[in-house]
Chains A and B, each alone.
Chain A
Amino acid sequence: DVKVTQSSRYLVKRTGEKVFLECVQDMDHENMFWYRQDPGLGLRLIYFSYDVKMKEKGDIPEGYSVSREKKERFSLILESASTNQTSMYLCASRTEWETQYFGPGTRLLVL
């Protein structure tokens, strides 16, 4: 079974803190993605990566950065957390055959 894991299920941070969200997949997938999910807005793509050390902006990259130093790991960084970044964050990885698998999500609350 494909497994995508995320480092935390719940996080509470203060405004201005630097926040790291980690994602690991165990299926040697090339493609990895970070989304946020908010009520009424659906899933929105923040960043994605097609290969190690490669990153592409998604639809809403402002306020975020990413790192992909190893193929299995894709990190999302909030440089200075703000209250409008309170959300559910979902990591995903994908096979070359377009089937995408999600992690369990990290629910982030920024106070």
Chain B
Amino acid sequence: TQLLEQSPQFLSIQEGENLTVYCNSSSVFSSLQWYRQEPGEGPVLLVTVVTGGEVKKLKRLTFQFGDARKDSSLHITAAQPGDTGLYLCAGAHGANSKLTFGKGITLSVRP
């Protein structure tokens, strides 16, 4: 059972475009994390969101945690080729719970 659905699975855009990707679940999470992974490397943590409705910004990346803490979105403004990678979201159900991972969104930003 896929508890965290990420969409779209693949996205190819031109440099300078804006985009929004999604991470959805029917489960409530105590926190949710976003990672970016480049080919051949481990995932690198971008952000952790904890409070329902929370919005966090990381330069051109804006992360939002849904009010009900079941979903999250990532918006990238003026995408750059360096944003290319696999974006993973992961939800937690408490301090000692295993994280539930989505399968990821493969983003390609063309120069």
Contact = CB atoms under 8 A, between A and B. Distances in A.
A102 B42 contact: yes
Contacts of A4: 42
B28 interface: no
Interface in B74-93: 88, 90, 92
Interface residues of A, number: 24
B40 A102 contact: no
A105 B42 contact: yes
Given A42-B103, A98-B30, A99-B33, A104 B98 contact: no
Interface in A58-111: 58, 90, 94, 96-105, 107
A31 interface: yes
Nearest to B102: A42
Nearest to B91: A98
A102 B35 contact: yes
B104 A42 contact: yes
B58 interface: no
Given A42-B104, A43-B88, A100 B99 contact: yes
A98 B88 contact: no
Interface of A: 4, 31, 33, 40-43, 45, 48, 50, 58, 90, 94, 96-105, 107
